[in-house]
Amino acid sequence: MAEAVTEGITRKQLIDRLNEDLAREYQAIIAYVVYSQVLKGAQYMNIAAELEVHAGEELQHALTIAKHIDYLGGMPTATPLPVKLTPKAEEMLRADLDNENETIRNYRLRVRECEALEEFAIAEDIVEILRQEQEHQVDLSTALGKNPPDVSKPRRVPAARSASAAATSVKTDAKSAKAAGKKR
């Protein structure tokens, strides 16, 4: 199945997907900076300090991904994905864990995509990032008193959510077509 996903990938598609990854790295930087400062309580002191370390590691990931986007001829995005803000410590850690899980899934796929394009150096850098992301996953899972989740399978999007996303896409396409018609 992984071969079917990566078969026929183009450099442009890889650039777009790396930009999605870069937006997720920005999200992680912001979340770790904020969460590390607002987590309260003795039980969270160790993880708060660890989140500060994670923020620096995520910045290095962002720089690495941006470098590869530029190498491939793309322009690195400057827009992060949204960060969940909540006063509840456990919700912050769960949001971080969910984001790390998604990042791990995406980077596993990205390695295969890079290899399909014979961009082995980029793949190797992503493998290194993946190692750190998995360490973050373990740290967050431990702080929540859980075992790290199995993220070896792609996440399933609920039918209602994917229908909503499809409807949004159709609306966006209709607006784009209408705008294109006005430009003529």
pLDDT above 70 covers a percentage of the chain that reads 79
* Per-residue DSSP letter, 1: -
Note the residue count of the chain.
184
Same domain, 179 and 109: no
Strands (E) located in the chain: none
Give the chain's mean pLDDT. Answer: 85
Q: Does position 184 have pLDDT exceeding 50, yes or no?
A: no
Is the pLDDT assigned to residue 156 strictly greater than 90? no
The C-alpha atoms of residue 63 and residue 66 are separated, in whole angstroms, by 5
58 and 14 in a common domain? yes
CA distances from 162 to 19, 159, 174 (A): 22, 5, 18
Q: What is the CATH number of the domain that holds 128?
A: 1.20.1260.10
Q: Residues near 173 by Cβ (< 8 Å), separated by ≥ 6?
A: none
Range in 9-18, 73-82, 168-177 with the lowest mean pLDDT: 168-177
* Contacts (Cβ under 8 Å, ≥6 apart) of 90: 144
**Strand, coil or helix: what is 8?**
coil
The pTM for the full model equals 0.80
Q: Residue 99 pLDDT > 70, yes or no?
A: yes
Same domain, 38 and 125: yes
Q: Are residues 91 and 145 in the same domain?
A: yes
At residue 36, what is the residue type?
Answer: S
Looking at the predicted structure, is the pLDDT value of residue 33 above 50? yes
Within its chain, how far is the Cα of 39 from the centroid? 22
Q: Mean pLDDT check: name the lowest of 1-10, 64-73, 114-123.
A: 1-10
Total domains in the fold of the chain: 2
Range of the domain at 126: 2-153
Region 96-111: mean pLDDT is 97
Q: What is the pLDDT of residues 57-71, one digit of tens each?
A: 999 999 999 999 999
Do 112 and 184 have their domain in common?
Answer: no
